[in-house]
Chain A
Amino acid sequence: MIELNDVSKSYNNGRVKAVDALTLTVRPGEIFGFLGPNGAGKTTTIKLIVGLLRPDAGTIRVDGIDNQKEPVAAKAVTTYVPDTPAIYERLTGLEYLNFIGDVYGVPKADRLRRIEKWLDIFELAGAVSSPIQSYSHGMKQKIVLIAALLPAPRVMVLDEPMVGLDPRSAHHMKEMMRTHCDGGGTLFFSTHIMEVAEKLCDRIGIIHNGRLIAHGTLEELRARDREDQSLEKIFLELTER
């Protein structure tokens, strides 16, 4: 579960309000899609959830743990995939996965099983012993995804996870997201791809100028405008205001 309560974050000494009094709950077993135009506050919200940024006000609880008061405990149940895969390029893929396994305390048997499974699914088994700097953008994205799956976290936070993935990998990724939540996990992700949000998400939130302007199931969002519109149209209408 992810709970944001009246969370605000500003930059430039308060001049730019990136996130403004955001209150939101993502329930266990739920895929929550976070939409918004560029610069709306999606990445800032995600960075606040995973502890990369400190909120100016408000509280964030991950799996019931306050991420400011007990940051290490909150991180232990969360994994994160950033929008750009800036990872240790001088390590091999396997060394990177081992590092993640070590810091999250994943036992060897689980580690082997999960690494084998995800390397196969994402077709990365042939490259895992090579340095990450030799990977393409998509391969880097995949190794970060595998690293995020390795600890089998209760909460996954993904920032634009589909960018750079080939169609097959994107398909596997969507299946993985569903499986993760069907097993009781929580998944929060941002995307610009309306079709993915429409088909995959249990609930959707739309952020604009730092404020959550709408959230709910697709049906609830459609019901707001009393028309049977596509998510894309709803999004465009809401963010034009």
Chain B
Amino acid sequence: MTKFFRLVRVGLRVNFGLSLFRPKHLLENKRDIWLIPLILIGIAGLFPVLLYYLKGIRFMYRLLAPLGQQAALLTFAILMGQFLILVFGFYYVLSAFYFSRDLDLLIPLPVTPVQVLLSKFTVVVVNEYLTASPIVVPMLIAYGIHSRAGFRYWVTAVFVYLLLPVIPLAIVSLLVVGMMRFVNFSRKKDALIIIGSLVLMTGALGLQFWLRRMPDAGPGRQVLIQFFNEGGFVQKIGAKFPPSIWATRALAPETAGSEFVHFLLFAGVSALLFGALFFAARAFFYRGLIGLGEVAARRRRLSRERLSAHISSGHRPIRAIFLRELRIMNRTPIFLLNGVLSVILIPIIFILFAKAGGGKSGSDSYRIILLLASSNSAAVILGSALFMTICGCLNGTASSAFSREGAQFWMSKVIPTPPADQVKAKFLHSFAVAFLGILAAAVVAVAAIQADIVLVLISLPIAMAAAAALTALGMIIDLLRPLLKWTNPQKAIKQNLNVLIAFFAAAGILVGLTIAVTALLKRGIRGELVISGLALFLFVLAGLSFAFLLKIAARRYREIET
């Protein structure tokens, strides 16, 4: 048991040591002081979303309370939280259990497979508290406040939250351990990660699509009531996945005393699945691992002619570094999924969501579609520029440009290429990925929404200027505090705080610009003028941010010690 806890402690240290929980790492360098306003902007950017969510909860609570169905809100949040954990858990479980580099160190140690696997499981559980927290925590708190809950509710809420990831993660873990044992994936791990991720993404999309295709029961409140009411959608889904109902009933009992039974059920099933994982670990874990560390490669000697053909006749260093970035990004599954694949998929998902929502959701995605299909030329240009920028820039390519190098950053420090040139090559690569997203968005806008092709083309330079500015901004953030010490590439992009900071900074800029543009148009300023002003502003911003990026390149390359 002591060994298990020690493994968990080490796992947690490795996992969180350089990220969220150690504020001293947020500002490793005193010169990073400028990050504080950026982080504050990011946090401030979260507040409207949180406020919107809390308002929604209050509205729903007041709507459902007279019907006695307010507890369905808890079921909904718990279901959504567990669903998110199920989807994201696949990545975490697969990479933590099978593709993590520390396995080479752990396996020879005198610890059992059960201790290794369960310690890794525990670390993933802790990770998933963060995944589920944005949906579940506000709901648990808001519900407690609205229902004027007593001490018992708050204590139960803490335990329900702590147990929340166990059931979905144990299910995913059992599936993954079984799959790795009985299907021969050894030496094909890259394909496995990509295919698995795409299957899960399709599943998540399918569910979202289905959710939004719910039969229309009339306007507004009636739909919501039907959604949450007894026998409504939430309860139907909850009935198919009873742990969410048990957790709800543990928090909001139907009859006095039943809360204890429901909590026991919830905790009992969690323990049962954890136990099943214990046996699966003992029986299957190490057997599924054998051979995974190896990478298949055919060894063949190249003839002199072929060798000569493959030897480049000398690219300029910028091109060589661009090619290196492109190859490494596209050949590392986690990077590929978060780069090229995501910029192609985001526009499609966006449109699917918006179209599936019909006109009834009033969502932001639907508002953008309305803009794109509008008869107002200025609205189409501004809407498609925003759509293309979002699709091109909301990925972690730029904001992990330096972090992705990890332990190999020493090479960037010793090669005789000026840091400014290296940064230019990285910028070109990140911008190329953004541009691919912009093009995908343009195609989707024209083909799926029938936006005017000429107006979409006019918006293209605006989107490109915005993308250049946001690419430079993301790279500046990553250059100022690169995350180079990682053992799993997932950490460099999916669990990199820089990606999150850049995301919020970009969202803040886009929201600010949207508010400013809307205000100008409402004041009666002509659309052409607003568009020209916006384009000018974005070009200046792009130029300034790129110049700043180049300006700090040499200093930062000197300062970063490897």
Which A residues are closer than 8 A to B by beta carbons? 47, 50-54, 71-73, 75-76, 78-80, 82, 86-88, 90-91, 94-95, 97-108, 111-112, 115-116, 125-131, 133-134
- Judge whether B416 and A52 touch: CB under 8 Å: no
B355: interface (CB < 8 Å): no
A-B contact count (CB 8 A): 118
- For the complex, is B298 an interface residue (Cβ under 8 Å from A)? yes
Q: Which of chain B's residues has its CB closest to A95's CB?
A: B327
Interface contact A99-B558, CB-CB below 8 Å:
no
Cα of A80 to Cα of B413 in the assembled complex, Å: 11
In the bound complex, residues from chain A placing their C-beta under 8 Å from that of B323 are 99
**Would A130 and B312 count as touching, CB distance under 8 A?**
no
Evaluate contact between B295 and A134: CB separation under 8 angstroms.
yes
Least CB separation from B412: chain A residue: A103
Query: Is B320 among interface residues, defined by CB-CB distance under 8 A?
Result: yes
B109 within 8 A of A: no
C-alpha spacing A88/B328, complex, angstroms: 8
20 contacts between A and B (CB under 8 A): A51-B413, A52-B561, A52-B562, A54-B561, A73-B416, A76-B416, A78-B414, A80-B414, A86-B410, A91-B328, A99-B321, A100-B415, A102-B312, A102-B314, A102-B315, A102-B319, A104-B416, A130-B297, A130-B299, A134-B296
Across the interface, which residues of B come within 8 angstroms of A127, CB to CB? 297, 299
Chain A CB within 8 A of B304 CB: yes
Point out the residues of chain A lying under 8 angstroms from B311, CB to CB.
94, 97-98, 101, 108, 111-112, 115
The interface size of chain B toward A, counting residues with CB under 8 Å, comes to: 43
Q: A52-B562, A86-B408, A107-B314 are in contact. Are A91 and B327 (CB under 8 A)?
A: yes
B33: Cβ under 8 A from any A Cβ? no
Give the CA-CA distance A158 to B411 in the complex, in Å. 14
Q: Which of B299, B301, B307 contacts A112 (CB 8 A)?
A: B307
* Contacts A104-B416, A105-B314, A129-B302; A82 near B410 (Cβ below 8 A): yes
Q: Tell me if A103 and B301 are in contact (CB < 8 A).
A: no
B30 interface hit (Cβ, 8 Å)? no
Beyond contacts A72-B416, A94-B302, A129-B300: 11 other A-B pairs, Cβ-Cβ < 8 A, are A47-B561, A47-B562, A51-B413, A54-B561, A88-B411, A90-B332, A103-B416, A104-B415, A105-B317, A131-B295, A133-B295
A107: chain B residues within 8 A (beta carbon) = 314
Given contacts A126-B301, A129-B302, contact A102 B328 (CB under 8 A): no
Are A72 and B417 in contact, with the CB atoms below 8 A? Answer: yes
Give Cα A17–Cα B520 distance, bound, in whole angstroms.
60
**In the assembled complex, which residues on chain B have CB atoms less than 8 Å from the CB atom of A79?**
414
The 8 closest A-B pairs by CB, nearest first: A102-B320, A134-B297, A130-B297, A76-B416, A75-B416, A90-B331, A134-B295, A86-B407
Contact between chains at B317 and A54 (CB < 8 Å): no
Residues from chain B with a CB closer than 8 A to the CB of A87 are: 408, 411
B236 CB-CB contact with A under 8 Å: no
- Which residues of chain B come closer than 8 Å to A116, judged between CB atoms? 304, 307
A-chain residues with CB within 8 Å of residue B417 when the two chains form the complex: 72, 103
